[in-house]
Amino acid sequence: MSRGNELPRYSSSREHASGILVAALGSTFGVGLLQATGFLTDLFDTGGGGTLQVALASVALVFILLALYVAAIVTANTFGTIVAGRARSIALLRLVGASAHTLRRSVAREGLRVGAVGAAIGAVAGLAISHTALRIGIATGTLPDVAYRAIDPLIVLPVAMVVLTTWLASHVGSRAVLGVSPLQATGAAEEPAPGDENRHVVRLVFAILLVAGGTGMLALGILLGLVSPAGIIVAFFGGIASFSGVVLGARWILPATLRLVGRLFGRSSPVTLAAANAVRYPERSTRTTVGLVIGVTLVTTFAVAMTSYESFLFSEYPDSAGDPSLTITIAVLGGLIGFSAIIAAVGMVNNLSLSVLQRTRELGLLRALGFTSPQVRRMILAESAQMTIAAAGLGVLLGIGYGWAGAQALLGSLAGATLVLPLVPWPLVAMLIVGTAALAWIASIAPSRRATSVSPLTALAAT
């Protein structure tokens, strides 16, 4: 057995690596995209007074906002996980007299630093990538060698937004600090405080109202869509409202989904324990999975809507089949949306790793009581698979629903006022299955290695 003397500690750099990475990805994406629109303007907009750039940048901003929205959710949840892991030290500080609000502010300040560092890294990366791509384009003759701008001033926009959203997200995520009671420093049971049940009830009511109202609006949008493409506007807001309800109510929806998925895995002891872990802490599993649900929902919604749109075009205008510009447009838009899913995946991996690492003591106890290393590894893999499958599965289902509703509301009147079945983009589903499996596996690597390299004694002594 290994007997490393190293105590399992999570320095704040390890804790914040994920937050910085997510912020950097968001900023790279934003800066790269705006640089690209700048280059395109230099290429095509010869003396057009900048209208082309305004149009391009506006489209780019939609995707940047989507990516940053996902990044913010992921970051808020990561900070929630970090605070949960620090509950004991926070309780100790509270015990000796620190005020909850001071502690929360200090966590949010960490968020500001994470955002600033990530945004700066992303700005450099985005500039580097955009110029490298430009050089390659020119060198291969794909792009003409005209005078391109070096740095588009608009890139301050995503950089500033990343700093702000990360700060805001860390503030929201650190709300859990307020729920830590000084008593937790003395308790032997590691359990987050049950929290304010009243607030939960209010939240549940809001979630139900949003889902119900939003679904109603979606239905209305679909009906309107049968007579006019403007139905999409009603459906759009219905979609936003109902999805916000799903996100708000995630702590009720996801555990139920996890329970369902957990049944698929059989009843061996690693699996049963993994299922218990996933289900018994609704807050923890929700934090880990909700970002991925959002990412997968976005991608699927887009893909289903596009597939329906394409097939509608082909049936109405058979000439358009195989039109390369349509294919390219869809691929580019898909890639832009896909970036949000990548951010969600990164967040999921880090969140899951963190939350397993925080359970070092529990894993030490299991090892002391007779859990073999392979069993621990299987437990962690089962847990991460269960979470990933539940999140991706829920995302796909929601995405198919939203994508279909969107396509129906937009095209229903044009297609002769009929309802059509949702078109499922099977290549995307296949990609999601592979991606989900890879994600589950990747997310389990670091915690598995940690859990099996530390001796049970060292793990039990961890705080």
Partner 1 sequence: MHTPASDSSPIARLETVSKYFGIGSTTVPALDRVSLGIRRGEFTAIMGPSGSGKSTLMHIMAGLDSPTEGRAWLGDTDITNLGDTELTLLRRRRIGFVFQSFNLVPTLDVRGNVLLPFQLDGRAPTPDESAWIDLLLTSLGLRDRLGHRPHQLSGGQQQRVAIARALGTRPDLVFADEPTGNLDSRTGREVLALLATAAREYGQSIAMVTHDPIAASSADRVIFLADGRIVDDRARSSAEDISRFMLSMERAA
Binding interface with partner 1 (CB under 8 A): 1, 3, 5, 187-191, 268-269, 272-273, 276-277, 280-281, 361-362, 365-375, 455-457, 460
Pair 47, 174: CB distance under 8 Å = no
Residue closer to partner 1 (CB basis): 99 or 372:
372
Helical H segments across 226-281, by residue range: 231-248, 250-262, 269-280
Give the residue carrying structure tokens 């060292």. Answer: 458
All residues at 6 or more sequence positions from 243 whose CB lies less than 8 Å from its CB, including other chains: 214, 297, 398, 402
Burial class (CB within 10 angstroms; exposed 0-12, middle 13-18, buried 19+) of 44: exposed
Least distance between partner 1 and beta carbon 262 (Å):
13
Q: Could you tell me the two tokens for 341? A: 């899913």
Q: Which residues contact 95 (CB under 8 A, 6 or more apart)?
A: 182, 185, 186
Residue 54 DSSP class: H
CB of 275 to partner 1, least distance (A): 10
Nearer of residues 185 and 223 to partner 1, judged by Cβ:
185
CB of 273 to partner 1, least distance (A): 7
> 189: Cβ–Cβ under 8 A, 6 or more apart, which residues?
none
* Least distance CB 197 / partner 1 (angstroms): 16
If the CB atoms of residues 5 and 11 are measured against partner 1, the closer one turns out to be 5
> CA Rg, the chain, in Å?
24
Q: Could you tell me the smallest distance in angstroms from the CB atom of residue 190 to partner 1? A: 5
CB of 393 to partner 1, least distance (A): 23
Between 275 and 294, whose beta carbon lies closer to partner 1?
A: 275
Q: Is the Cβ of residue 93 or residue 271 nearer to partner 1 in the bound state?
A: 271
- In 153-230, which residue ranges form alpha helices assigned H by DSSP? 156-173, 176-179, 197-225
User: What is the 8-class DSSP label of residue 103?
Assistant: H
List CB contacts of 391: < 8 A, sequence separation 6 or more: 254, 289, 290, 292, 293, 296, 348
- Of 99 and 269, the one with the shorter C-beta distance to partner 1 is 269
Cα 113 to Cα 9, 69, 159, 168: the distances in Å are 21, 19, 13, 12
HSE-up (13 A, CA, CB side) for residue 255: 11
Q: At closest approach, how far in Å is the CB of 141 from partner 1?
A: 60
Q: Which lies closer to partner 1 via its Cβ, residue 90 or residue 459?
A: 459
Give the list of residues 6+ apart from residue 26 with CB closer than 8 angstroms, or none: 64, 67, 68, 71, 118, 119, 122, 158, 162, 165, 343
Nearer to partner 1, 9 or 280 (CB): 280
**Which C-beta is closer to partner 1: that of 1 or that of 150?**
1
Instruction: State the nearest-atom distance from the C-beta of 2 to partner 1, in Å.
Output: 8
Contact 460, 365 (CB under 8 A): yes
Q: Could you tell me the smallest distance in angstroms from the CB atom of residue 57 to partner 1?
A: 49
